[in-house]
Structure 1
């Protein structure tokens, strides 16, 4: 759908997305498109909706997970498995630019809603499939969640410390990562369509994302034939690099070259460390990491964390206190970049949601509306495709659902 985009309007204004996704990865992908201005119609199960609506914790009956990744979308409660529901779905898709789904392979084929079937009818359509293990191979039909695929791709084997049990990353990095790659693929396909008029199928998965993000560990293994071990806050390639003790709490320091190490040694009052053959170069420091960290911890314990952070920042040493979410919310840099955007919600006075981490001067991304209630836009969307007269009939058959609290519209 090629239209003139107005200044200060999202770059995807005029693009309609039909969103079949649930849980975290798929809805995170369509949230990116929605923030960039696309009209995302979220198709949800009648009566139950997206599984993410039932994830803890709840806030006034609304899932925090759902609130975070379903902003800017319209909810259509629809059973596409029923003939009338499939008919409505196909009408929606006929008006759409993009379809996104994260069902297991074979589910949508039964209803003619798979990529190959839809592109035969709509050759300019962009169809994105986001899965756990990809579309081919012996395990393409396996179910998989973020932590399971972190284990499969080796991420859990290098996360945490050597003394701990295997650890997953503290955020759902493969859900968020595969969502980002899905959005990149869709944007690339839209750009290609602008030049050729042709749509295509876009595919990505949690497994592919995990393998890609393990890239330097996989290459390093080929060079050394040694598996990396968990490093905690450390980095396998640099030293000193990690969490260090101060008089009143830990501090994260990252030293990636000899020049930065010389500044660090000077700042802590131990300039002679740069001439110590154990620490003269980065490979030396990695080899003698334990001894170096012991010396640094002893020195850093002599002063409070805030003093060290101020001193290190003054001389250009990368460092930070290790913050909790409550502290991140109050971080002045977060406020300066307007990273949290407030949106009203029918059940919550104000929800502050992190915006997309990209800035566009003429067509900025924005969080315009909060995550919808289930079926909040059913009536509105049916009106757009000429099905308003059938609302009561479809409702009686359980083909659609309406949000009672919101009146079915917003």
Structure 2
């Protein structure tokens, strides 16, 4: 089956998370992703997370649809082999600190000489320019520095990071988007270009109304917990058997919500007659809503509210979410056979294409499993030495 990126050759120098996530997305779309790993242990994630039958499920999830080549890039032979691979590649992806690739002998000028059609993609913490270029970066630190952490948590509590490593993931996602855009541009110009995505830039771009309101007014957003910063009522409400998330984000939906509760008359109260007033008095309004909802179960309210077009849902833990019938119907959990390692369960493909869908072509590779195969395919009979032990 032809996929959107079938025929696109990707040399993957990334490791850990942001880069492998980016290249896994490309592989899911059909690209031939060759993961370059150093001799020895390879990508450190191979030994991280839950390891079952010799396979890290963390590694398996982020390195599917790739082939592994073992190269010692500290050796001249290894770097020469990399140069040979880059001659045949469409994309190079790396997530070293800025300047490391150039120190290895692959600055932008040399990469253009090797392959003027090559798209070079870099993922880093703060970007390759600016006063923070030399700083090491980590998801937790970027969440703090970006202001993202300051928006999470309750008003009287401490700043909180998000559970998932969101700055890593958004940088990988943006880099994949940039690569696809550069491939399309190359169709028009015949030339490659440099793509860069930083963790800091990526998470800043997601601030949405928090940023626009601050830029308009100068007011720094405050932590609002599960309340909405600009709409009320909104958040978690207490039914007889637990909490229900309800998001009546517009006046129309709010009236539907209150109508289901039999509380539409509450809007005649001067404290609640406008959104601005409801924001000032949200604690009092929440108390009235909770008093009404405590009389029935979460499921009863959820059935009635969803039927009325009011967005609402249970607060599920990760295990409940990954076994939710909607998630399973959408094939967002898949079982992948890994020869020698058994069946690995992992997350599925979030983008659904009707004619050229994402698919699982290769399970995550054993370290160096495709070294000879890739060198033979890409470099031919006069293939160079791998550069490893």
> TM class by shorter-chain length?
over 0.9
Q: Which residue of 2 aligns with 1:360?
A: 353
- Which residue in 2 is equivalent to 1:137? 130
- Distance in 2 separating the partners of 1:184 and 1:118: 21
Q: Report the Cα distance in structure 2 between the residues aligned to 1:116 and 1:169, rounded to whole angstroms.
A: 39
The DSSP-based 3-state class of the residue aligned with 2:10 is strand
Q: Does 1:294 align with 2:287?
A: yes
* Equivalence for 2:12: 19
Report the counterpart of residue 231 of structure 1 in structure 2.
224
Q: Secondary structure at the match of 1:141?
A: coil
Q: Confirm or deny: 8 A CA contact 1:340 1:355 kept in the other structure.
A: yes
The Cα shift of 1:86 comes to 0.8
Segments of 5+ residues of structure 2 without an aligned counterpart are none
1:180 maps to 173
1:388 Cα deviation after fit: 7.7
The answer to whether structure 1 residue 201 and structure 2 residue 194 are counterparts is: yes
> For the residues of structure 1 that align with 2:327 and 2:208, how far apart are their CA atoms?
30
In the TM superposition, residue 127 of structure 1 has moved relative to its aligned partner by 0.5
Q: Which has the larger displacement, 128-137 or 325-334? A: 325-334
Mapping 1:167-316, distance limit 5 Å: 167-316=160-309
- 1:342 and 2:335 correspond: yes
Structure ranking higher on relative contact order (CA contacts 8 Å, 6+ apart) = 2
Is the contact made by 1:355 and 1:367 (CA closer than 8 Å) also made in structure 2? no
1:371 to 364, 370, 389: 364
Is structure 2 residue 359 aligned with structure 1 residue 400? no
Q: Does 1:157 align with 2:150?
A: yes
Shift of 1:390: 7.9
Structure 2: distance between partners of 1:148 and 1:356: 29
Q: Secondary structure at the residue paired with 1:344?
A: strand
SS at 1:335's partner residue?
helix
Residue among 99, 112, 117 paired with 2:105:
112
Larger deviation, residues 55-64 vs 264-273: 55-64
Question: What TM-score, normalized by structure 1, do the two folds share?
Answer: 0.90
Counterpart in 2 of 1:406?
A: none
d(CA) in 1 for partners of 2:34, 2:201: 27
CA distance in 1, matches of 2:160, 2:50: 22
1:148 matches 2:141: yes
Is residue 355–residue 366 contact of structure 1 (8 Å, CA) maintained in 2? no
| Gap change, CA 1:218 and 1:116, over 3 Å in 2 | farther
Change (3 A) 1:347 1:285: farther
Q: Could you tell me whether the CA contact under 8 Å between 2:83 and 2:114 is conserved in 1? A: no
- Deviation, 1:286, is 1.7
Question: How big is the alpha-carbon RMSD for the aligned residues of Structure 1 and Structure 2?
Answer: 1.9
Deviations 1:232-290 (A, max 9, x none): 22220111111222211211110111111111111112221132222223222222211
Q: Could you tell me whether the CA contact under 8 Å between 2:226 and 2:235 is conserved in 1?
A: yes
Per-residue deviation at 1:351?
2.0
For 1:215 and 1:287, how far apart are their aligned partners in 2? Answer: 22
Gaps of 5+ in 1: 1-7, 402-410
Return the alpha-carbon distance in structure 1 between the equivalents of residues 71 and 272 of structure 2: 64
Q: Paired residue for 1:82, among 69, 72, 75?
A: 75
> Do structure 1's residue 351 and structure 2's residue 344 form an aligned pair?
yes
Contact 2:86 2:114 in 1 (8 A): no
Tell me by how many angstroms 1:226 deviates: 2.4
